[in-house]
Amino acid sequence: MKLSKKKLFKIHSWIGTKLSILFFIVCFSGTIATLGHELDWLFISEIRAKPQKEFASRNTILANLKKQYPDGQVSYWMRTEEPYLCDIIYMKDNGRQTYVFANPYTGKIQGNANLTFQRFFRDLHYFLFMPFYQFGYFIVLSFAFLLLISFLTALFFYKKWWRKLFVLEVKKGPLVFFRSLHRLIGLWSIPFSILFSITGIWYFIERSNIADVRAKVNPKLPKLENYTVTDSVNLAYDIDYDKVVNVAQKAIPHLRVEDMNIPTDYESPVYLRGKSDVPLVRQRANRVYVNPYTYEVTEVQNARTISKTMWVNDIADPLHFGYWGGLVTKIIWFFMGLGISSLVLSGIWITLKRRAHQRKKQHKPILGKWKFINWGIYIFIMASMYVQLIGLYHTSITGMVVISCGWILFLLLTYYVFVYRLNKIVNTGQNKM
């Protein structure tokens, strides 16, 4: 059945309007997450590091960590690709998860935080802080399909759209201007809309384990057969990390070890990841498992020899978040993400304004029941978020205030633009924003 231009337009506007708040949160949170580490650098002074030629010994870093957190349980050690950031060491101290910032050049422990900007926006974008995180993941990933349908329908109902790539109407009134701007941004966002949609759909395939993809791209952590039970209550402080890294780098040529999973039981190896000379793939494409007792390599996964399925999986993150080319590509991805987020807002405004005049004649509310659905979902997300911020992250009062102020500002702007201004324009018959 061939869809008419009118039906395609209805599908396009329905996607952007009916779940408008949720659509915007997903797009905007992903945009901010692109520069999450840079926001940490900007607002958290303890995470900043001045790049130097040589790195400090990892054993020195752990020795300094042990002095400050003798009973801390280390589980993960992240060395970011950004040279201006500290290492981030995930630790449980007194039963609470905390992120410790260790200067990779001096070995000094510079501070800690229970939550970072990067972690907050990643979690918001990944699963919306929903209590059943798998449910949250699938809600977010469903928008990959909606984004794909949205821009495809636009291309079909905009005839000869390529002629509009450099057209912006500025002399025909505000409504025509915003429609023209919406179309212009949308056309230039097509490559990124395709990219975000395809990678999002791939995440959906992996998460739902279609064709056994999840099992193929996520090998199980090997268990050690040769291990020693000691009297130590904290295995993390007994490991020679310099030796572990050297062993891993010999296993994969040109490997730069960045992330490590630290074993919390006797049967698990140290799991190391990093970048090599293979372009585009994320750190996880290179995996080395090292026995922390014998310092022998247990298993190796080299990015040069991975399967095509695993290769696709390992380029998805760098392409989706734009960090494959460093700060330059992250900034480009950030602005394109802002463009797509603005499409959601401008599309909502254009559609609601058109429908507002129609509904006024019929004496019906502008959004109808969908207004309550949108706000109901929003309230549920907020409630779930605060439960996790308090119970899981033990977020400080300052952090809670900052986050709350951000959401309050979002609410006020939403109300002002889409309720107050829209009603005022409809009631006065104005044709301006």
Model confidence over 211-266: pLDDT tens digits? 999 999 999 999 998 776 765 657 899 999 999 999 999 999 999 999 999 998 88
pLDDT the model gives residue 363: 54
**Phi first, then psi: what are they for 427, rounded to 5°?**
-70, -30
Rounded Cα distance, 255 and 275, in Å: 6
228, 263 contact by CB (below 8 A):
no
Indicate whether 297 belongs to any domain.
no
In a domain, 218, yes or no: no
- Alpha carbon separation from 284 to 102, 330, 347 (Å, rounded): 22, 19, 38
Query: Is the pLDDT assigned to residue 412 strictly greater than 50?
Result: yes
Look at the block and give the residue holding tokens 């905390």. Answer: 98
Q: How far is residue 365's CA from residue 371's CA, in Å, rounded to a whole number?
A: 9
**pLDDT for residue 317:** 97
- Is residue 161, in this structure, part of any structural domain at all? yes
Buried b (16+ CB within 10 A) or exposed e, 99-122: bbbbbbbbbbbbebbbbbbbbbbb
Per-residue model confidence (pLDDT) at position 231: 59
Q: What is the pLDDT of residues 143-189, one digit of tens each?
A: 999 999 999 998 888 888 888 888 888 888 777 888 899 999 999 99
What is the predicted pLDDT for the residue at 376?
A: 87
Q: Tokens 């990933």 sit at which residue?
A: 141
14: left (phi over 0), alpha (psi -120 to 50) or beta: alpha
- pLDDT above 60 for 386: yes
Tens-digit pLDDT profile for residues 131-155: 887 899 999 999 999 999 999 998 8
432 has a pLDDT exceeding 60: no
Domain range enclosing 378 = 5-39+121-210+324-428
Q: What residue type is 91 in one-letter code?
A: M
The answer as to whether 328 is a domain residue is: yes
Quote the pTM value.
0.92
Residues 6+ apart with CB under 8 A from 426: 353, 356, 357, 360, 366
Evaluate whether residue 61 is within a structural domain.
Answer: no
- Separation between Cα atoms, residue 249 and residue 252, nearest integer Å: 5
Q: What is the mean pLDDT of residues 314-341?
A: 97
User: Using one digit for the tens of pLDDT, what is the confidence trace for 35-87?
Assistant: 999 999 999 999 999 999 999 999 999 999 999 999 999 999 999 999 999 99
Using 50, 70 and 90 to split pLDDT, how confident is the model at 367?
low
In the predicted model, what is the mean pLDDT of residues 11-27?
A: 87
The answer to which of 244-248, 321-325, 375-379, 397-401 has the lowest mean pLDDT is 375-379
pLDDT at 203: 98
Please return the burial class of 155, using the count of CB atoms within 10 Å of its CB with bins 0-12, 13-18 and 19+. Answer: middle
Question: Would you state the pLDDT for residue 17?
Answer: 80
CA distance 149 to 160: 18
d(CA 270, CA 241): 9
Structure tokens at 397: 């009062």
Looking at residue 213, its pLDDT comes to 96
**Mean pLDDT in residue range 289-293:** 95
In this structure, are residues 336 and 175 in contact, taking their beta carbons and an 8 Å threshold? Answer: no
The answer for residues whose C-beta is within 8 angstroms of residue 304's C-beta and 6 or more apart is: 276, 278
Q: Which of 340, 317, 341 is nearest to 329 (CA)?
A: 317
Q: How do residues 84-124 score in pLDDT, each as one tens digit?
A: 999 999 999 988 999 999 999 999 999 999 999 999 999 99
Provide the number of structural domains found in the chain. Answer: 1
Residue 407 resides in a domain: yes
Residue 68 falls within a domain, yes or no?
no
Average pLDDT, the chain: 90
The answer to whether the beta carbons of residues 286 and 302 sit under 8 Å apart is: yes
Percent of the chain whose predicted confidence (pLDDT) is above 70:
93
What is the predicted pLDDT for the residue at 361?
57
Q: Is the pLDDT of residue 433 over 50?
A: no
Q: Identify the pLDDT of residue 360.
A: 57
